[in-house]
Chains A and B, each alone.
Chain A
Amino acid sequence: MTTVYTITYVLLAAAGMLTVGRLLVGPTDLDRIVALDVLVILITAGVTVEIGMRREGWNIALVAVVALLGFLGSVTAARLVERKGSEQQASERHRSEGPEPGGPERQEPERRGAGH
């Protein structure tokens, strides 16, 4: 059984290294967001293997919290990137074609100052 745990940890560590490579290389921000999400999943998997190895249940709450935090972080970062990109596109359109009434991406100006 120790061999099984060792092989599992080695495979997870190799996956983590590949993911960190994508995190460092990744050409866009969205690649890095995806890589961070995968890294959170791999950390969750590693903690879970440790739980099964020791047969103790005290850090199951840690696993749940890490999974939820990874979800919240990924969704928030994706939303931020989406809004930033659409603002850039809207400003380019504004510069090239002139003002466009009622652009579909620019209709929420009041949310921009909400994150103090």
Chain B
Amino acid sequence: MARQVISAVLLLTGAVFCLLGAWGLVRFPDVPSRLHAATKPQTVGLMAILVGSAVQLAPRHAAGLLLVVLLQLVTAPVIAQRVGRAAYRTGCVRHDLLVVDDLARQRGRSARRPEPPGPADVGGAEPPPTPGRAG
């Protein structure tokens, strides 16, 4: 009985978190804030649902579900980092909504860095590929 109560509370909490994440996905204005709504509440909701189902199962099946929890904890930051980086590089970020923009500072510094004098590089043409043993 206690298991069922714990499971019910976790399942409802997880579903509410998933719904809040999806609502934020609809409401938020640009890609990084939508990403914020898509990664954190969704991950918490999925973890709550997985644990709430794992409470009711046999221990070996519950171990499988906990493995999925671990997998989600590892992969969600990777997705967020890749998508956020792509959003910044392709210009899908509203800069008037940002408070701190560290990447702009990095870009400005790297743009101001004087280029090394390399007369061989100025030609712009790549060296022709050498035929023969390349394959």
Chain A residues near B (Cβ < 8 Å):
1, 4-5, 7-8, 11-12, 14-16, 18-19, 21-22, 28, 30-31, 33-35, 37-38, 41-42, 44-45, 48-49, 51-52, 55, 57, 60-61, 63-64, 67-68, 71, 74-75, 78-79, 81-82, 84-86, 88-89, 99, 101-102, 105
Contacts and interface: CB of A to CB of B under 8 A. Distances in A.
B121 A102 contact: yes
A88 B89 CA distance: 11
A64 B86 contact: no
Contacts of B52: 52
B80 to A, nearest CB: 9
Nearest to A109: B126
Main secondary structure of the interface of B (DSSP, over half): helix
Contact of A42 (B18, B43, B90): B18
Contacts of B45: 41, 45
A57 B52 CA distance: 14
B85 A67 contact: no
B8 to A, nearest CB: 4
A78 B45 CA distance: 23
